[in-house]
Structure 1
Amino acid sequence: DCLGNANYLCQVATVDDVPVAFLILSRILDETHVLNIAVAPAWQRHGIARRLLQQALSAARADAMTVVYLEVRESNQSAQALYRQLGFEVCGVRKNYYRKGDGHENAVLMQCLLTSGHK
């Protein structure tokens, strides 16, 4: 659905012409929303997600966006740490947002304010 929608921005990272990661963003007025970011297991912890997000934050600033939002699984502490390093802060929780096995998991809502004082 995201790839066919002209309102979404999609980035793909490749290694030797093989896709290893992607990032999908949505922009509404002056807000950018990270809809999905994924890195192939063999390429995780190589800085690819960080680079994709840094590029997205730079582009959002250049395009006069004021904030970037994302949701992350409550249990995904490594992703939350990366987002905090990039200037994101927790701004809420979405109860039972993600499916998890036979139940649900909360999402942590994070925002990065795109002012001159942030990375």
Structure 2
Amino acid sequence: MSYTLMIIGMSLITVAIKAAIFVLGERVVLPPLLKHALAFVPVTVLTAIIVPMILSPHGTGLELTWRNPQLIAASVAILICAVTHRQLLTIAVGLAVFFGWQFWVLGGF
């Protein structure tokens, strides 16, 4: 029950903040430093979601071994992205390495 109330509360706060921004629109003047800092929020949130899934895919601790297909695929994807700067290629190669590593190296799904 407490989790349900917590989720409802977080949802209401999120909706209230977003609604206030949309309703007030241009009347709210944010300082330039805050605008600059807010530009990094999407990257930060995405990183906070992805990195734990890569480093600890089973949620039991760090798995920094060759048997972690998420870590191998992410490493290859980072390298491909740094070299080519092509998003679709990065995604395709990352998925291919992940599934290939999991199937051929680790012996199946």
Give the TM-score band, short-chain normalised: under 0.3
- The structure whose RCO (Cα within 8 Å, separation 6+) is larger is 1
Which structure has greater helix proportion? Answer: 2
Structure richer in strand, relative to its length:
1
Larger Rg: 2
TM-score norm. by structure 1 comes to: 0.23
**TM-score (norm: length of structure 2):** 0.25
